Each structure stands twice: as C-alpha cells, then as structure tokens.
Homo-oligomer: A and B are copies of this chain.
Amino acid sequence: MKCDHKIAVIGGGSWATAIVKMLSENVDPIGWYMRSVYITEHIKRNRHNPTYLSSVEFDTDQLKLSNDINEIVEYADLLIFAIPSAFLKEELEKITVPLTNKIIFSAIKGIVPETGLIVGEHFHKVYDIPYDQIGVITGPCHAEEVAMEKLSYITLACQDTEKADCLGKYLSSRYINVKVSDDIVGTEYAAVLKNIYAIAAGMAHGLGYGDNFQAVLISNSIREMKSFIKKVHKMKRNINNSAYLGDLLVTGYSIFSRNRMFGNMIGKGYTVKSAMLEMNMVAEGYYATKSAYKINQENGASTPIIDTVYRILYENKDPKKEFQQLTDLLN
C-alpha cells in the first residue's frame, strides 16, 4: 500500500488543532487552513494556537498555514474537514478549485443545517465526491486529552479501507490507536446522534435526575441509536464498538461536553435562545435534533429520547413534563 498523500486540515478549532497535532507525529508538511488571520499569525510567531489547546507546541517549519482555503485545497489531495457544521456551507462556497478528485475525511460531528445531511452525504450529493473518496474520523476522543498525549482510540471509516489505512498511518502514534471501519454512514450518524443524547443527559441533570437515571438514559440511548442507524443503513455492526458506544459515553458522561452543557441549561429553566446566547455558540446537537427527528419521521424507529429533546427544543414543551413522560418509556 502506497501512502504518500499530501494532507491538509481545514479548521482552526480545538478538534482541528488536535488533528494537526496527531499528524505532526508523522507528516511533513501539513497543510492547515483557518479563517482567522490573527490566529495564523499567532501560530507562526508563537508556535501555538492561542485560542484552542494552547499548550500544544508546533514546529512551524512543518506547517503550511494559510487563510486562503483555495491554496490549501489545491495543495492537498487528502483533506480533513474539522469546522463546525454550521460554517461548512459558507467555507465550501469559497472553494473555486476542483474538489472532485480529493479524498475528503470529515471530522465534523454534525449535520449541515442548510441541507439536513450528514457531512459525508453533503459532499457526495452537493459536490459529487464519490463515496469511496469520502471518510469519517470519529472518537471517542476529547481534543484536550490528545493535547495531553493521553492514550486515545479513533476510528477511521471509509468504503475504500485502503484510504482509511493510509490516514491511519499518518495519525497513529504512541498515544493514538487507530481502528478502521467500512461503516461510514453508521459511524457518522453515531457521532451526530450522540450529541442529541448528550443534550438529553444534560437536561436530565439540569432537572435534578441523578446518576441512577443517567445510567438508564444512556443504556436506552445506545439501544435507540442502534434502531435509528439500522433504519438508515442496515449492515452488520456491533453498536458496542468504541466508535458508537464509546463515543456516546465520552460525550454523555463529560461535564465538558458543550451539548451536555446546553441541555443542562435547558433543564435548569433557560430558554433555548438564552442558553445559546449564554454559551455564545450553538451546540451541534441542536441542529442534529431537528434533522434526526425529521429523518426518523420517515424511517419510524422508536426514538423516544430524540422525540423528547425535539419537543423541548423546537416545540417549546416543558422539559419537566416531557421527561416525566419519557421516564415511563425507558426501561
């Protein structure tokens, strides 16, 4: 297997920064696009991202940094997208150089708000990228722990597993274990849905439910996730593998998860709007809830947890009453 791709990362947030750090163990040079001129200049001068994972020091000779997305897309033949799904459409619209011959891995754990598609589907349907050139990078993986070089396992999914194997070579290190999967749809939906369940876990916490209930909620969540994904793309998968259950656990049990925090505020009585304002950002799970709810309206899996979160976020229903009803449906 010949692995000599030119690689670039699109995004300047914490997950993008963590991925550049992983790559820096093996790849030279690494293309890195981000919007912010200030941050690029800061990295060039001070060798670290001032806003995210600022403890990580980079060898700037190894980085091909740019604020011009076309320069970076043109340079690379394997692109890793790691920007919030809410900004994806806008960034992609800047691209004027050809995309169709690129290998594109998505490290975005969300649904494109404008199209309601998961990122892989968006690239396929809107940009005509063939499915065997599309892949997914998924956890369980907090960026902060990558910065600290704590042992983490990531899953790379691609129909063409040779491409995933190559990317695995670029990302593996003493603190990164890589697993390859061919379930691109399932792993991506898992990464999206887990944010909804993290919102639910946060809501439950905010409403005063304890750890006993959280354990019931999470064990119902993984069963619900299994049914949901099975309807979207039926194939043999073990939902208890790290890319599905592990990813759900690391998010659902993390007090640092932005989705869980968002849910917590709603559970404590904030309105959706004021929670968003307070957090100064939109949690990925907010969009995911709407899309997942709509997708499942057609597919008909039993998803009482997603339905509950949807009614609270989009139909202004009372979290306390909705959760009381939900508790009767869980087991």
For the complex formed, measure the closest distance between the CB of A242 and the CB atoms of chain B, giving whole angstroms. Answer: 5
Q: Specify which chain B residues have a CB less than 8 angstroms from the CB of A240 in the assembled complex.
A: 219, 222-223, 226, 239-240
Q: Specify which chain B residues have a CB less than 8 angstroms from the CB of A250 in the assembled complex.
A: 211-212, 214-215
Q: Is the CB of B331 within 8 A of A216?
A: no
Of B208, B212, B241, B327, which contacts A331 at CB under 8 A?
Answer: B241
Bound complex: CA of A239 vs CA of B216, how far in Å? 13
Tell me if A37 is interfacial: C-beta within 8 Å of chain B. no
Residue of B nearest to A226 (CB): B240
For the complex formed, measure the closest distance between the CB of A15 and the CB atoms of chain B, giving whole angstroms. Answer: 13
Q: Is the CB of A253 within 8 A of B211?
A: yes
Interface bits A232-269 vs B (CB < 8 Å: 1, else 0):
00000011111011110110011000000000000000
Q: Is the CB of B245 within 8 A of A222?
A: yes
For the complex formed, measure the closest distance between the CB of A221 and the CB atoms of chain B, giving whole angstroms. Answer: 9
Tell me if A52 is interfacial: C-beta within 8 Å of chain B. no
Tell me if A293 is interfacial: C-beta within 8 Å of chain B. no
Of B145, B219, B241, which contacts A211 at CB under 8 A?
Answer: B145
Q: Specify which chain B residues have a CB less than 8 angstroms from the CB of A331 in the assembled complex.
A: 153, 177, 179, 241-242
Tell me if A150 is interfacial: C-beta within 8 Å of chain B. yes
Q: Taking A240-B219, A242-B216 as contacts, is the C-beta distance between A209 and B140 under 8 angstroms?
A: no
For the complex formed, measure the closest distance between the CB of A197 and the CB atoms of chain B, giving whole angstroms. Answer: 13
Residue of B nearest to A251 (CB): B215
Tell me if A157 is interfacial: C-beta within 8 Å of chain B. no
Q: Is the CB of B249 within 8 A of A218?
A: yes
Q: Is the CB of B212 within 8 A of A327?
A: no
Interface bits A293-328 vs B (CB < 8 Å: 1, else 0):
000000000000000000000000000000000010
Bound complex: CA of A310 vs CA of B294, how far in Å? 48
Q: Is the CB of A213 within 8 A of B249?
A: no
For the complex formed, measure the closest distance between the CB of A195 and the CB atoms of chain B, giving whole angstroms. Answer: 15
Tell me if A161 is interfacial: C-beta within 8 Å of chain B. no
Q: Is the CB of A249 within 8 A of B219?
A: yes
Q: Is the CB of A216 within 8 A of B246?
A: yes
Q: Taking A211-B142, A240-B240, A241-B331 as contacts, is the C-beta distance between A216 and B150 under 8 angstroms?
A: no
In A177-210, which residues have CB < 8 Å from any B CB?
177, 179, 208-210
Q: Taking A219-B240, A219-B246, A245-B222 as contacts, is the C-beta distance between A150 and B327 under 8 angstroms?
A: no
Bound complex: CA of A274 vs CA of B219, how far in Å? 35
Bound complex: CA of A8 vs CA of B223, how far in Å? 36
Q: Taking A219-B240, A219-B246, A331-B179 as contacts, is the C-beta distance between A212 and B142 under 8 angstroms?
A: yes
Residue of B nearest to A331 (CB): B179
Interface bits A134-170 vs B (CB < 8 Å: 1, else 0):
0000011110011010111100000000000000000
Tell me if A3 is interfacial: C-beta within 8 Å of chain B. no
Bound complex: CA of A139 vs CA of B222, how far in Å? 18
Shortest Cβ-Cβ A-B pairs, 8 listed: A150-B210, A140-B215, A215-B250, A152-B212, A219-B246, A215-B246, A219-B245, A215-B249
A-B contact pairs, 9 of them (CB 8 A): A139-B212, A142-B212, A145-B211, A151-B327, A153-B331, A214-B250, A215-B242, A218-B245, A220-B242
